[in-house]
Amino acid sequence: MPFEDTPLPADFQVKPLVPLKYGRGNPPRKKKGQVAKVTRDVKQGILEGAISHGSDGEGTGGLAGYFQMCAAKYPKHYMGLLGKLVPLNVNNTGTGASPTVINIVGVESGTFINEHGEQYQPPEEEPLEIEQLPEPAPPMSALEAKLLELKPQELLALAKALGMSEEPDPDLGWNTRRR
């Protein structure tokens, strides 16, 4: 049976497919520029935790106290985070208390600089003296070296030959019997 071309009725119209605004297939979306709810809640939780921890674990100093504690305990990580906060392009107009000149000075190893820019040597600490060195272990005899090479079964046979008991020694805390 060949395909027959059937004419469409005169009042036939094709309805355009329009995506559903809200429904099973299309979940609601956040608006452009709006922070996601989970991200917002996580950030808020982190801030509240830092505020309640403070510098001493009991809330002293609030958020500033917490950051002071972090800077003291983990200066390397704190400076990394601080570096991400500083803008790449700093345009200073000279107003305010911000520095206008930064000098980077090389300092010899073991030398420090005080707040006036003067170099100084820290006071030398007295060397630690050890009153008595521990005695070195005596050299191992050939017999002791051979005993260390023996397998457990060979050690048990040797112990039986010497008349030693196979009962566990309570002082050693291990059992020589196989279970």
Q: Where are the alpha helices (DSSP H) in the chain?
A: 37-53, 62-73, 75-85, 142-149, 152-161
Asked if residue 59 belongs to a domain, the reply is yes
The whole-chain average pLDDT of the chain stands at: 75
Beta bridge partners of 169: 174
| pLDDT over 70 percentage in the chain | 76
Asked if residue 100 belongs to a domain, the reply is no
CA–CA distance, 8 with 149 (Å, rounded to integer): 98
CA–CA distance, 57 with 40 (Å, rounded to integer): 24
Phi, psi angles (nearest 5°) of residue 69:
-65, -45
Asked if residue 110 belongs to a domain, the reply is no
Q: How many domains does the chain have?
A: 1
Domain ranges, residue 38: 34-84
The model's confidence at residue 97, banded by pLDDT at 50, 70 and 90, is low
Asked if residue 54 belongs to a domain, the reply is yes
Q: What is the mean pLDDT of residues 30-42?
A: 77
Q: How far is CA 165 from CA 9, 110, 149, 157, 162, in A?
A: 108, 64, 22, 11, 9
